[in-house]
Structure 1
Amino acid sequence: MDGLKLRSVGRTDLQLSALGLGCWQFSNGRGLIGGYWSSIAERGVREIVETTLDGGINWFDTAEIYGRGGSERALAHALSTLDVASDNVVIATKWWPLGRRAASIAQTFPERVSCLSPYPITLHQIHQPFSLASIPSQMKEMARLHEQGLIRAVGVSNFSAAQMRAAHKALAGYGIPLASNQVKYSLLDRRIERNGVLDTAHDLGISIIAYSPLEQGILTGAFHRDAERLKVLRGARKLQVTAKRIETSRPLIDRLETFAKKYEATASQIALHALVTLHGELVFAIPGASNVRQAQENAGALHISLTEEERSEIQELSLRVVANG
């Protein structure tokens, strides 16, 4: 089975695998955001990172808010322990804008560099459209980092279509393309196809980076095979992974499982592959991993080749399941 080749991110010269590893789980259980996941031991993080790289994934996505820098530090430590050369890996991170002005981007950047040292920040992103500053002001600060050679690409996250256009226009004034918009997107959450975000990405040449591409584990089929798993969910995840969603998504999961048997794969691998091939090379995805098995499954999705007919069938069934909600 042929693997997915590296792709250009937006209209930049950055080349990434269709899948990256989302590192939210490396937060060590710290903070309001990081506490969403249980802590992973240092050895576990290292094994996940090593498995990810061995599987052909060449980039990692983290953020300032993930464990208040804990995720960044854990990732950098794992890469250093594995003696991974800085030019063999790509790091994307995100600035947390809530309650801050644009000047905070430059002010907090040295801390991001320190947390990720010795690995450079390649793609720097605005995490949410919640800053106290205007989008042009934020893009001006990002452009400065880019012009100083401190980052190679500028991205945003959770931006609407209008906000994407504003960021794109502002960066264009500095001769810099907006590389990406990181948004929630999966076979069970297709809102960006209706709210203009996907169309805008197409129009402006901006990549989509899909977070939560397995819909908090629903698309793995694990909850369909064992409903008892629902009882051990904690925190906000209990509100997202419900018995109703498991039941309404069952027809899609059953079909993913059928294709998984054909390709000696898993439902999650079929779901990931289908997502990142749904719109040519426009969509990247960043599934997370809490253990080596999940990291292996993620990377394995790069090495599947669904037929056009199979992709179409998954697409149609996905749309039907979403419509039935």
Structure 2
Amino acid sequence: MRRRMGASDLELSPLGLGCWQFSKGSGLVGKFWPALSDADIASIVRISLAGGINWFDTAEVYGGGRSEEALADALNAIGASPGDARVATKWWPVLRTAGSIPRTIGERERRLKGWPIDLYQVHQPFSFSSATAEMNEMAKLAKAGRIRHVGVSNFSAAKMREADRALRAHGLRLTSNQVKYSLLDRRIERNGVLETAKELGVAIIAYSPLEQGLLSGKFHRDPGLVKRLSGPRRFSPGFRAAGLQRTLPLIDRLEELAAKYGASPSQVALNWLILANGETVFAIPGASKPRHAEENVRAMTFALDAEELRELAELSALCGRR
């Protein structure tokens, strides 16, 4: 299963693999996940590729480049080639200007150990420069052959338009906007981001597509698991007793559909995400264990019907984030 990402020539699987968890426990952001072994990372990447996932999303800020290195090492260890696997990474803009983009691209290339950067994204809309200035620098990298396509992350509808307009001046187009999107967080449907993406032909890359595991249903069935969580997840309103109760009707229906398709609730939630808006939305679930990678790829092996897609949308509107 492949689809074209936005207006680019990238033919990608609807699911990619998010690689934040490859940060090796390094840096403030990387400490969100436990440090994974090289063997586990290689296994996760191998299972993902074997299951049909052909692209991987990482970032400079994930362990200060450790995730990029770990991904490159895993791809090299299993003998993958650039034709098998596409790499997306991101430039960190906070407290920087657009001039940092050309100054730091060499570090991205070094960390990725020669793997081509198929999609280079501005990670946040916050920098000392305008989106236009950032896109002008991205366009130079694309024309120099150091990156293939340009994306953004967490951009508003207005900033998406600005970025695409700037790239058009160089004969390029904005490929994607990576944003938080799941059955329990559908704000992009109301703030103009999804509508603008469809209008411009920009792909949406959904991060946190399982709402940090909440859509698996395991916390609803065993609330005691919340106490065992490390990191900030356990303090999220969705993981509290009232939050679990509010989202239970959606979990019940996900479980019913999972039984029908021989799948899991997580797989059904991912299937909804990649089908509910035609081919606009891609998703990047993570995997910190090989079995998580196996779980991800199964989500691309069936298709919810139109009535099921509609029903889940209605249920999620009743209990999702407003």
Normalization by structure 1: what TM-score?
Answer: 0.97
RMSD: 1.0
CA–CA separation in structure 2 for the residues paired with 1:118 and 1:164: 30
- In the other structure, the counterpart of 2:239 is 242
Aligned counterparts, 1:170-189, within 5 A:
170-189=166-185
Deviation for aligned residue 1:209: 0.2
Question: 2:13 touches 2:55 (CA, 8 Å); kept in 1?
Answer: yes
Question: 2:124 touches 2:155 (CA, 8 Å); kept in 1?
Answer: yes
Question: 2:214 touches 2:239 (CA, 8 Å); kept in 1?
Answer: no
CA–CA separation in structure 2 for the residues paired with 1:118 and 1:247: 48
- In the other structure, the counterpart of 1:9 is 5
Which of 56, 63, 67 pairs up with 1:67?
A: 63
Deviates more, 1:279-288 or 1:239-248: 239-248
Deviation for aligned residue 1:74: 0.5
Cα-to-partner distance string for 1:199-223 (whole Å, 9 max, x where unaligned): 1101111100000000000001111
In the alignment, structure 1 residue 271 sits paired with structure 2 residue 269: yes
Structure 1 gap segments, 5+ residues each: none
Cα-to-partner distance string for 1:142-182 (whole Å, 9 max, x where unaligned): 00011111111100000011111110111110010100000
What is the one-letter code of the residue matched to 2:249?
Answer: P
Deviation for aligned residue 1:103: 1.0
Aligned counterparts, 1:34-73, within 5 A:
34-73=30-69
- In the other structure, the counterpart of 1:218 is 214
Deviation for aligned residue 1:235: 2.4
Look up the SS of the partner of 1:118 in the other structure: coil
Aligned counterparts, 1:1-325, within 5 A:
5-240=1-236, 241-243=238-240, 244-322=242-320
Number of residue pairs the alignment of both structures matches: 320
Cα-to-partner distance string for 1:31-50 (whole Å, 9 max, x where unaligned): 11111111111111011001
Question: 1:124 touches 1:154 (CA, 8 Å); kept in 2?
Answer: yes
Look up the SS of the partner of 1:64 in the other structure: coil
Question: 2:17 touches 2:284 (CA, 8 Å); kept in 1?
Answer: yes
Look up the SS of the partner of 1:189 in the other structure: coil
Normalization by structure 2: what TM-score?
Answer: 0.97
Question: 1:221 touches 1:253 (CA, 8 Å); kept in 2?
Answer: yes
Deviation for aligned residue 1:316: 1.2
CA–CA separation in structure 2 for the residues paired with 1:292 and 1:46: 9
What is the one-letter code of the residue matched to 2:239?
Answer: T
Deviation for aligned residue 1:130: 0.9
What is the one-letter code of the residue matched to 2:250?
Answer: L
% of aligned pairs identical?
Answer: 54
Deviation for aligned residue 1:118: 2.8
Question: 1:86 touches 1:118 (CA, 8 Å); kept in 2?
Answer: no
Look up the SS of the partner of 1:216 in the other structure: coil
Deviation for aligned residue 1:304: 1.1
CA–CA separation in structure 2 for the residues paired with 1:234 and 1:132: 34
Deviation for aligned residue 1:135: 1.0
Question: 1:201 touches 1:208 (CA, 8 Å); kept in 2?
Answer: yes
CA–CA separation in structure 1 for the residues paired with 2:119 and 2:317: 32
Deviation for aligned residue 1:245: 2.1
CA–CA separation in structure 2 for the residues paired with 1:41 and 1:234: 19
CA–CA separation in structure 2 for the residues paired with 1:264 and 1:322: 25
